[in-house]
Amino acid sequence: MANLRQHTATLLLPTVFFGYAIYANSTMLFTPPADAKGGKINDLSLSYVIDGEATRDLDALYKSELPHRDPAVGVIGNARYALLGSGRKGVIIGDEGWFFTGEEFKRVKPTDIESAVARIDEVRALLAEAGIKLVMVPLPAKSDIYAEHLPEVMRSDAMSVAYSDFSTALKAKGMTVVDTRAAMLAAKPFGELFLKSDTHWTPTGAKVTAEAVQSTLQQSGISLPSETVTASWQTPVDIWGDLTTYITSPDYAPRAGLKQENIPIYRTAVNVEAEGTDLFGTETKVPVMLVGTSYSANENWSFVDFLRQSLVTDVVNVAKEGLGPGVPMMDLLAGTALEDTQPSVVVWEFPIRYLGTPTLWERKSQAGTGGHHGGVGDSNV
């Protein structure tokens, strides 16, 4: 029965797609695009096709004005997911609603780890010259922590090996390294640490990591000034996981049985008056600075708040979304934030799935193509 279902789907999906394509393209051929400059309608002449103008105009329409584009994406995506249990390139479908980014299914080269650690060691030295301690927080892959939800054929030790090798190499350079993987595996029976339909962690995963940072600092003898931190839970928010868009559109996702993620929001505040901050608003020192990716920058995960609570001190967050872990650190070193806030500790959150990406240290516009600093699964697979 399963083979018959897959065979039927294999025939049905192309039929749906090409049937729609014939309809959409015939519509555009009978209503050719207007010239961008003069506003005139192009003639369907042989020269219009040979000179490449037709291809250019059709490409522009496909990107911005294709009739019924959103419904087509939703309907075809739903059909593909329902019949084949798959999505577009970039997402791996697991069981029980678990989705994974294709970026986590690669073997990181030893040379990639060596070059990354060498660059990180340069950063450590620069911070040390300013009297700042660097604390590395490598983050394990979701596909490693929840490997049991992967299809059997996709299970691999690649990400666990990369995590181990990366952490070992950092420690060999004398760096302070937080073992987030061990902390997550220990906490796994008590709550989900990653979102099912998203590449990021849950607030529980963020909290576990923040507590691991505090424990590591304590064991390393790194002391921080104690401050008055208040905390409270806020109204939860519902979001569509970023991996859902690699299956279907949000408008059509419920019809495929997909649901939004419900995110509890945690917020903290430092009682500045109790700590004697200058009432006139002049710059003051902040003991800890957090650098990293959207795991830290996106307020939905509450990582900086859990970090403040765990460390019982103030933390300034300079993490950035969509740039990976390297670029925000390069921006920090090139800017004035370190001088302005004068932290004694910099916590660097670093997902290991970025190791070996071409844009680890440069923005995409600088490094050409490659690297997941935009949409999930753009490359790196």
Close Cβ partners of 31 (under 8 Å, ≥ 6 residues apart): none
Of 149, 200, 372, 373, which residue is the catalytic one? Answer: 200
Close Cβ partners of 209 (under 8 Å, ≥ 6 residues apart): 137, 139, 178, 180, 183, 184, 201, 303, 306, 349
Residue with tokens 């020269």: 47
**Residue 294: active-site member:** yes
Of 290, 345, 337, 298, residue with least CA distance to 175: 345
Judged by phi (left if over 0) then psi (alpha if -120 to 50, else beta), residue 281 lies in: left
Of 143, 197, 249, 294, which residue is the catalytic one? Answer: 294
Residue 266: strand pairing partners:
233
Distances (CA, A) of 323 to 292, 297, 329, 374: 9, 11, 10, 8
**Residue 198: active-site member:** yes
Structure-token pair, residue 224: 């921080």
Cα separation, 144 vs 141, in Å, equals 5
Distances (CA, A) of 377 to 73, 197, 339: 18, 14, 37
Of 57, 198, 305, 314, which residue is the catalytic one? Answer: 198
Residues assigned a catalytic role: 198, 200, 294
